A and B are shown apart, each in its own frame.
Chain A
């Protein structure tokens, strides 16, 4: 196929995304190990319970830096416009792949934009509550117990959204992962998933 590929994510964008992605998955595994005794064996991934406890906040710091970069890189593309609101109204057609009834998306569809905002918000919750739990000597029991509750609530939210995100980015929409790995996508993919964006690209 001789069709030129469309540039979607720069090298830096991809590095930042995968720092966030990989650290998040490791944090999720060790975090769930601390939450569920039946999953405690997952700490083995990082060398056992004590090592996992020591590394979790350090990896969390890397995640925090990654999230900050990601926010800075992408925030200006993430504000919802009128068509995005229409897209949200038609979300059930999006789910059932009824493309004709789905308003065209720009570089990101409204779902992706919301995912961005939710993860940014949860990122703040993770960092603040995780910081408290990292230095428990500095805080009282009530604060720490509240922090544990919120840290887990964020894990649950982040985990659920991640399932959807990974599913859509890999097996549900073939050709999407390529954009985050090679940085490029096919024009057909762009036309299907992000018609307004693909139009932009062609004009340029």
Chain B
């Protein structure tokens, strides 16, 4: 029986670069599939997320939108965003299920300096372990989707954990369970990709010629994928067209850090060698 919680990567350990590949790998790799065209905007998923994960309720205000909250927070891990956009002469909601996409190559984990604060499982889930978090928020700038949120009280960061406690027990995440239209599906990633293809065919028949699947390669694919009716208008959904797990600056930082460790060591050794070669220069000697 493969282990559903076999670990793939742990932040700030060698496994962040070379994923672990233990005997216990080979279990199912899951994915959510969000079919935006089927969402009726009921926000049941938001409520289910709060309930299952025991997240604090936040006072909301009417800011002239159908959306419940203005933004994600350390206590709001899932937010249905209702972007109002004109399509032809019509108003359209470009709905986005805003939550962690559980990237195959998680920028958050690569950025994190605290060993064990972020863990990626072989099943695709990326989870934060607040016990090891030092509150630096590097994961926030490392995430190409702007997902992790800092909690000022606990000084740690939080985000969707794909209901890992449910998945471990063989259940689907709470939002999937609750969705009345099956706009959110859950299963083995390959099956979800096949299902997405069927959905695309149907959407194209219905006239959404640019319908597309969002499973961006820049982060190695994601474990929450979207079926996007207007695939040519990703920015209207607040979906980045070319997300990357390792932006140029952080790649540069990694190179510099490696070179730097040798340079610093070399500096200390050089000083020592200089001392052995020419020794101290005392006033008494040369006077």
Interface residues, chain A, with chain B CB atoms under 8 Å away? 33-37, 40, 43, 49-50, 52-54, 95-97, 99, 133, 136-137, 140-142, 144-146, 148-149, 152-153, 155-156, 159-160, 163-164, 167, 171-175, 186, 188-189, 191-193
Query: What residues on A are CB-neighbors of B51 within 8 Å?
Result: none
- CB within 8 Å for A141 and B146 given contacts A148-B249, A156-B260, A189-B283: yes
Q: How far is the CB of B110 from chain A (nearest CB, A)?
A: 11
Q: Are A97 and B132 in contact (CB under 8 A)?
A: no
Q: How far is the CB of B238 from chain A (nearest CB, A)?
A: 15
Q: Are A152 and B136 in contact (CB under 8 A)?
A: no
Interface check B60, CB cutoff 8 A: no
Query: What residues on A are CB-neighbors of B247 within 8 Å?
Result: 141-142, 145
Interface check B218, CB cutoff 8 A: no
Q: Is the interface of B mostly helix, strand, loop or mixed?
A: helix
**Assembled-state Cα–Cα distance A43/B135 (Å):** 14
Q: How far is the CB of A79 from chain B (nearest CB, A)?
A: 26
Interface residues on B, range: 35 or more
Q: Are B134 and A50 in contact (CB under 8 A)?
A: yes
**Assembled-state Cα–Cα distance A40/B16 (Å):** 15
Query: What residues on B are CB-neighbors of A40 within 8 Å?
Result: 12, 113-115
CB closest residue in chain B, given A49: B134
Query: What residues on B are CB-neighbors of A142 within 8 Å?
Result: 247, 249
Query: What residues on B are CB-neighbors of A164 within 8 Å?
Result: 267, 271
Query: What residues on B are CB-neighbors of A188 within 8 Å?
Result: 283-284, 287
Among B233-287, those with CB < 8 Å from A are: 247, 249-250, 252-253, 256-257, 260-261, 263-264, 267-268, 271, 274-275, 278, 280-284, 286-287
